Structure 1
Amino acid sequence: MKVEIYSDIACPWCYVGKRRFEQALDAFEGKDGVEVVYRPYQLVPDAPEQARPHREWLAERYGPQSLAMDARITEVGRTLGIDYDFDTVQEVNTLRAHRLLHLAETEYGPAVQAALKERLLKAHFAEGVNVGAAEALVELAAEVGVDRERAAAYLAGDEGEAETRAALAEARAIGVTAVPTFVFEGKWAVQGGQEAETFLQVLRQVEAETAQQIVPLAPAADTCEDGTCAI
């Protein structure tokens, strides 16, 4: 079974969704037969290359409710072992990070890509790392087994950019409008950072080759409040 997860490094609910899906996968009887691949999505495609403080950025977008939004996701994250530190988060364009994830998948495989995804999320949300900076990305990639020199050379040019932009366009073309979105076997989609029990149910349904299309179980939101992040 192939599961494609559309997400953005800048999406806090994507971190929650990743953790909950992994809990479900760990409990799934057929987990050894599941391949997980991360697909790119950008919440803010025109985000600047220069990093900005998260609190400032979010307040501009959502006003007074931004603090409550951060508080909610922080509490949810705590139950999953995720330590959000929004006082140190830097918002920046994530295209370069998505390019690096493409490199990890194509040259090292899904397992290394998943490890890099986890490392990027932790660096962004818990460690205040600028995940748009090539130097920082190279170090994070090296931590999960990507050759440091290869990563540095890759990011120094435009290698992988066309492929990443094509994948971003494909996500829009197939109807992905909010993240995280989980696509099972290219047929069934579940949207949002669902509970682990929900993901486990879906895994079992897909394994049984259900003929009924699984529809998104959480509505797309125009804020990061209902288990998804949308523009």
Structure 2
Amino acid sequence: MRVEIWSDIACPWCYIGKARFEKGLAGFAHRDEVEVVHRSFELDPRLTKGETGTVIDMLAAKTGRTRAEAREMEEHVASNARSEGLGYRVDGRDYGSTFDIHRVLHLAKVRGRQDTLLDLVYRANFAEERSVFDVDTLVGLAVEAGLEDAEVRGVLADPDAYAAEVRADQREAAELGASGVPFFVLDRRYGVSGGQPAEVFTQALEQAWDSRTQAGAGA
């Protein structure tokens, strides 16, 4: 059974949702027969390369709230992350275009290192004092995940490399009706939106598995 997860590394609920999904998957009896595929989704595709700023300022401007109120919003998300055992920095985090990061994640998928790189990028973005929008930082994370430095830099230097794959993922998300992330599609039978509790994912996996089994029995 295949589970496809549309997410963006700038999305804190994607970070939290991945951890919760993995806990839900761990409680699923047929977990060893589940293939997980990560797909691209940009929360803000209007951002241009090199356009960065701080998350608190961006949230305040986007929601029309004060910086103090935006920080309180971030503290709420942080408490959810920490309850899952995840690190989360409220202050000092950057935001920017994630398109290049998604392109490198597609390279990592080809090399069988996508999930590892995704975890490293999430951790760097939300828990550590590193900006994933810095080229050298991104390359360093990719190398840590097992990719070759020169190959990663080659992809980043070529704006067409894996760009079609990123756009195809985003187009497919729209066709499936996903207007936000995280968005989980189980065996193309069921969809789960948001960073749901682990037990919700376990139940959805069981439902999708039972549906698959029944369909097979009726074939």
TM-score normalised to structure 1 length: 0.86
**Residue equivalent to 2:114:** 113
Q: CA deviation at 1:210?
A: 6.2
Q: CA deviation at 1:178?
A: 1.1
Q: CA deviation at 1:149?
A: 1.6
CA distance in 2, matches of 1:120, 1:129: 10
Q: CA deviation at 1:50?
A: 2.3
Counterpart mapping for 1:196-211 below 5 A = 196-209=198-211
**Residue equivalent to 1:167:** 169
1:60-99 C-alpha deviation (Å, 9 max, x unpaired): 1111342222111111111111111121210000000001
**Residue equivalent to 1:21:** 21
Q: Which amino acid aligns with 1:108?
A: R
**Residue equivalent to 2:217:** none
1:13-56 C-alpha deviation (Å, 9 max, x unpaired): 00110000001111211111011111111111112422211111
2:190–2:204 CA contact under 8 A, matched in 1: no
1:2–1:185 CA contact under 8 A, matched in 2: yes
Q: Which amino acid aligns with 1:135?
A: D
**Residue equivalent to 2:70:** 66
**Residue equivalent to 1:100:** 104
Choose the corresponding residue for 1:185, options 174, 184, 187: 187
Please list every run of 5 or more consecutive structure 2 residues that lacks an aligned counterpart in the other structure. 214-219
CA distance in 1, matches of 2:92, 2:84: 20
Please list every run of 5 or more consecutive structure 1 residues that lacks an aligned counterpart in the other structure. 212-231
| Farther off after superposition, 13-22 or 154-163 | 154-163
**Residue equivalent to 1:219:** none
Q: CA deviation at 1:9?
A: 0.5
CA distance in 2, matches of 1:186, 1:131: 32
Counterpart mapping for 1:1-231 below 5 A = 1-48=1-48, 49-62=50-63, 63-64=65-66, 65-105=69-109, 107-109=110-112, 112-158=113-159, 159-209=161-211
How many aligned residue pairs are there? 209
**Residue equivalent to 1:217:** none
1:52–1:92 CA contact under 8 A, matched in 2: yes
1:141–1:151 CA contact under 8 A, matched in 2: yes
SS at match of 2:211: coil
Which structure has the greater CA radius of gyration?
Answer: 2
CA distance in 2, matches of 1:96, 1:209: 37
After superposition, the CA RMSD in angstroms is 1.7
SS at match of 2:24: helix
2:75–2:90 CA contact under 8 A, matched in 1: no
TM-score normalised to structure 2 length: 0.90
2:94–2:131 CA contact under 8 A, matched in 1: yes
| Farther off after superposition, 176-185 or 79-88 | 79-88
CA distance in 1, matches of 2:33, 2:76: 35
CA distance in 2, matches of 1:76, 1:108: 32
CA distance in 2, matches of 1:50, 1:192: 27
Q: Which amino acid aligns with 2:131?
A: N
**Identity value in percent:** 38
SS at match of 1:208: helix
Q: Which amino acid aligns with 1:83?
A: G
Q: Which amino acid aligns with 2:46?
A: D
